[in-house]
Structure 1
Amino acid sequence: MAFLFGRGRSRQPADIARATKELLLRIHETPSSKTEEDLAKQLSQMKVIVQGTQEVNTSPEQVHALVQATLQEDLLYELSHSIHLLPFEARKDTQTIFSHILRFRPTSYAADKDPPVISYIVHHRPEILVELCRGYLQSQSAMPCGVILREALKFDVVAAVILYDQSKDGEPAVRLSELKPNLPQRGDGIFWHFFDWIDKSNFEVSADAFTTFREILTRHKSLITAYLATNFELFFGRFNEILVQSESYVTKRQSIKLLGEILLDRANYNVMMAYVESGENLKLCMKLLRDDRKMVQYEGFHVFKVFVANPNKSVAVQRILINNRDRLLRFLPKFLEDRTDDDQFTDEKSFLVRQIELLPKEPIDRNRPARDGHSANTATVA
């Protein structure tokens, strides 16, 4: 057995990381089945170090040494850049290795601090995150990259880099210290590509991209509220045009549901108020109520109710509702009337009918003082 122990001692984490990087470079230049096989073996050894097996426990010292070696060799970038070229099992191993390394904390490391690899990435190598996002460009890498991204997105600094990066292909990505959250974006950074990845990719890629997109938009509330406030027109313009009006039923339904979640989140109150001031947004929403598919109608209803329930409706929104009052009062009582077991939905429909009945005859500009007591009372009721 001595030869086994001798061989084990020669395969230190630094050696494995170095060999893996060399093979990754080779697979780009001269791909071959032999290179793929050797690379799969190296990644399998890395996975054993970070995860262990039923027979072998992990060693914090070995894991720490591997983490340091991967950073020294810039291996995380090379893996994220090359994952689509790896065989299936090697991609799964890469996903496991990445996820363990991202959350690894040395024994003496403070529990309230971001893991060291997360800090390293956002301060020194954010290109790793950009490459992981670009994993959605190939179906082979979409799901493993998505799993890694969602592990990284547990930390708000990662979400911030993805949201605010505006680098182009071949340019350095934005470092955490370089973020300019108050500067409106152009709409060509890595985050904005998610709209097309969701809308134009095959089902598996689209579904995974949407899961990551939703994670970005719902997990770190204060970050997203500020981002949406600064980029309101650009974001909701694309969201409405590309996702809410997607030809894909699944994308359309999920996007309307996500829109409702964003608007009804208390953290996004100011964003919601800005959204429901728009007459165009209301027209889009009313169009959803007439969709042939019941679940699209249902999700659209949950956005429509925000417009109607808002006590401070804009003139544009009031005008649309007033002009369509009679049609809405005929339409809503029969709308999805087969949902007899959904008491909340039934109550909400009744509430909206009452609110529409109470609308004034003409829109009231709440930015102007009421001319007489009657106008003031009408405004209050509406």
Structure 2
Amino acid sequence: MKGLFKSKPRTPADVVRQTRELLIYVDLHAGSRGADPKREEEKMAELSKNIRDLKCILYGNGEHEPVTEACVQLTQEFFRENTLRLLIMCVPKVNLETRKDSTQVVANLQRQQVNSRILASEYLEANKDLLDTLISGYEDTEVALHYGAMLRECIRHQSIARYVLESDHMKKFFDYIQIPNFDIASDASATFKELLTRHKATVAEFLSKNYDWFFAEFNSRLLSSSNYITKRNTSVLGLNCCTAR
């Protein structure tokens, strides 16, 4: 009799839907006054497992390669609703390992194609405020490296890189690169470099419109920095920028 009631294996879409429900719970209740600590702990553990399962579907599990159809199903369901938004907004509320897994899931989804469409790019174009959240993450030591890694994957899309380049956030990078925390400053520098080198036509357009203020800041704050590593890295980047222009 025991074998008659085995539960059906979850499909990739099922995993996404259950993850979304858990993210909604965590977003609403995690750390809130009056929340049941035991229930919250159970939900957090369940969420961590689900995000780990998403990662396994997208990357494979060490023994098996990812299955294309499973990745397509996962991606379609993921972007059917606001799962990406929920995942990003819940990063500060989950534990370190789940943050790492979440970062890998977001990174992989930027590359997934469904019928030659990159759904992640389309979603981000319609939800550009998420880029604001990721960039501002450099101001929070708890999530800076996770949000920074996500951001670099998002700006693989030319339209998203253009949005960041044309936003007021570009000026903030001159501060982020000089944050006293070495790891965060290095991460911000890597993102800054990616923004200024990946999409050459977009970078050339940005520099043609913003040459004066950009290089005034670049020269006075980065090339003249007392930090040797900052000065060395920006010297090379400056040459690339001049070439792009």
TM-score, length-normalised on structure 1?
Answer: 0.56
Structure 2 residue identity aligned to 1:198 = I
Q: What amino acid is the match of 1:226?
A: E
Q: 1:57 to 1:16 in 2, by over 3 A?
A: farther
Shift of 1:66: 2.8
1:25 is the counterpart of 2:33: no
**1:132 aligned onto 2:134:** yes
- Change over 3 Å in CA distance of 1:15–1:79 after alignment to 2: closer
1:240 maps to what in 2? Answer: 219
Once residues 5 and 176 of structure 2 are traced to their aligned partners in structure 1, the CA distance between those partners, rounded to angstroms, is: 48
Tell me which of 20, 23, 44 is aligned to 2:52.
Answer: 44
Aligned residue number for residue 198 of structure 1 = 177
Q: Is 1:79 equivalent to 2:87 in the alignment?
A: yes
Aligned to 1:22, the other structure's residue is in SS state helix
**Bigger relative CO (Cα 8 Å, ≥ 6 apart):** 2
Give the match for residue 105 of structure 2: 97
- Report how far residue 118 of structure 1 moved: 0.9
Per the TM alignment, residue 46 of structure 1 is displaced from its structure 2 partner at its CA by 1.9
Report 1:201-220 matches (<5 A). Answer: 201-220=180-199
8 Å CA contact 2:19–2:50 kept in 1: the answer is yes
Report the TM-score, using the length of structure 2 for normalisation.
Answer: 0.84
Decide whether the 8 Å contact of 1:199 with 1:206 is kept in 2. Answer: yes
The change in CA–CA distance for 1:41 and 1:3 in structure 2 (over 3 A counts) is: farther
Given that 2:57 and 2:67 are in contact with CA atoms closer than 8 Å, whether structure 1 keeps it comes out as: yes
The answer to whether the 8 A contact 2:15-2:50 is kept is no
Q: Could you give the per-residue CA deviations for residues 285-336 of structure 1, whole angstroms, max 9, x where no partner exists?
A: xxxxxxxxxxxxxxxxxxxxxxxxxxxxxxxxxxxxxxxxxxxxxxxxxxxx
Deviation at 1:64, TM superposition (A): 3.0
Q: Are 2:51 and 2:98, in contact at CA under 8 Å, matched by a contact in 1?
A: yes
Contact 1:27 1:85 in 2 (8 A): yes
Q: Indicate whether 1:53 and 2:54 are aligned.
A: no
Please tell me whether Structure 1 or Structure 2 has the larger radius of gyration of its CA atoms. Answer: 1
Mapping 1:274-285, distance limit 5 Å? none
Given the superposition, is the C-alpha separation of residues 261 and 38 from structure 1 closer, same or farther in structure 2, using an over 3 Å criterion? same
CA distance in 2, matches of 1:26, 1:246: 44
Give the deviation of 1:216 after TM superposition: 0.4
Amino acid at match of 1:67: T
2:203 aligns to what? Answer: 224
Aligned counterpart, 2:9: 8
The 3 A distance-change label for structure 1 pair 42 and 201 is farther
Query: Tell me, which stretches of 5 or more residues in structure 1 are unaligned?
Result: 166-188, 269-382
Partners of 2:155 and 2:122 in 1: how far apart? 13
Q: Cα 1:86–1:12, aligned 2, differ >3 Å: closer, same or farther?
A: closer
Q: Is the 8 A contact 1:13 1:65 kept in 2?
A: no
Instruction: Flag the 1:53–1:260 CA change in 2: closer, same or farther, 3 A.
Output: same
Is residue 2:143 matched to residue 1:141? yes
Q: 1:118 — aligned with what?
A: 121
Match of 1:258 in 2: 237
CA distance in 1, matches of 2:192, 2:98: 25
Say what the alpha-carbon RMSD is for the aligned residues: 2.6
CA–CA distance in 1 between the matches of 2:174 and 2:4?
55
Q: CA deviation at 1:4?
A: 9.3
How has the CA–CA distance of structure 1 residues 28 and 255 changed in structure 2, closer, same or farther, with 3 Å as cutoff? farther
Structure 1 residues 71 and 225 mapped into 2: Cα distance closer, same or farther (>3 Å)? same
Percent identity between the two aligned chains: 26
SS in 2 for 1:200: coil
When residues 190 and 100 of structure 1 are mapped into structure 2, their CA distance, relative to the original with a 3 A threshold, is same
